[in-house]
Amino acid sequence: MQIYIVYMGALHSSEYPTSELHLNLLKQILVNGSPSESLVYSYQRSFSGFAAKLTTEEAETLNGMKGIVSVFLSKIMELRTTRSWDFLNFTQIVNRNPTMESNVIIGMFDTGIWPESKSFNDKGLRPPPRKWKGACKNMTCNNKIIGARYYNGGGLYQSDEASPLDFIGHGSHTSSIAAGRSVSQASLYGLAKGTARGAVPSAKLAVYKVCASFLCYEHDILAGFDDAIADGVDIISASISFPYHAHDYFDDAIAIGSFHAMANGILTSTAAGNSGPGHYSVGNVAPWLISATASSIDRHIIGRVVTGDNVSTTVSKLINHTI
């Protein structure tokens, strides 16, 4: 028995709650067990569908029923410098509109966030805008991090704490790139000192912890989209993709979730992936989202290694002391 996603399209008005319709469908096809025990998520805030523990035969039966758009196995997706903004000519002295930017809410889909980082202090920031309908689950928010949710449908993440806190660092890293406050004298082990800052330092962050241990299950990602759209984010950032190639839109949680985000005026920006340079190596290809690829930068951190026979070799450097 595995977790399948049952996608049913847009929300429709009904005299019955959406969750009851989902449970009724499960009641019709389950061979053993109860619908409530099978149900993992009921997607009902921004679109209709559910995730459930099913056998292959039960999933195939659902796939042929009226009102079902697609049924697919919840697959595993993967996660994918202080000078970068200057290199892009987006310097600290660029003309900005802090009042407008402080009302922008970025929904971050990643491994959570570490709120004690200097990049996320809320000094001088206004309270969340009135449109915000989100929540903070098992974490204290502020005027910078205004929302935080975590997802572990089916209990597949065994070692991660039940909170939006980031124990890996990837989510805090991507959040600081998007909207980190200015932090002077930032460096990597004393190298390349500079002012670290995000693209929009005064923007608000809403955190959706859909990944843990560098793995991200599609049923959790889709639950994040269901919440983020209804919570009122303005843009969604997801540095997540399939490891090798894209999938059909109706079998892809990010394609489905970002489509409904687009329908609600919310742009989704994703990572193209870490694979390549071969053909078909981009993981996110839906035309209604932005898929960002890697680029270059105009500096290298290098060191020099001198061996016993006095041969000198130039290498990439990530430490700042003599070995």
pLDDT in tens, 102-116: 899 999 999 999 999
Please tell me which residue, 12 or 134, carries the higher pLDDT value: 134
CATH architecture of 2-73: 2-Layer Sandwich (3.30)
| pLDDT at 308 exceeding the cut of 60 | yes
Task: Give the whole-angstrom CA distance, residue 109 versus residue 89.
Answer: 27
In this structure, which topology does domain 78-292 adopt according to CATH? Rossmann fold (3.40.50)
Q: Please report the pLDDT score of residue 26 as a whole number.
A: 96
2-7/70-73 β-pairing: antiparallel
The two tokens of residue 234 are 């303005």
Cα angle 15, 221, 49; round to 5 = 25
Mean pLDDT over 266-272 rounds to 93
Q: Please report the pLDDT score of residue 319 as a whole number.
A: 56
267-271/290-292 β-pairing: parallel
Q: Taking the domains of the chain in order of start, what are their residue ranges?
A: 2-73, 78-292
Q: How confident is the model at residue 259 (pLDDT cuts 50, 70, 90)?
A: very high
Query: How far lies 93's CA from each of 57, 121, 273, 297, in Å?
Result: 60, 21, 32, 20
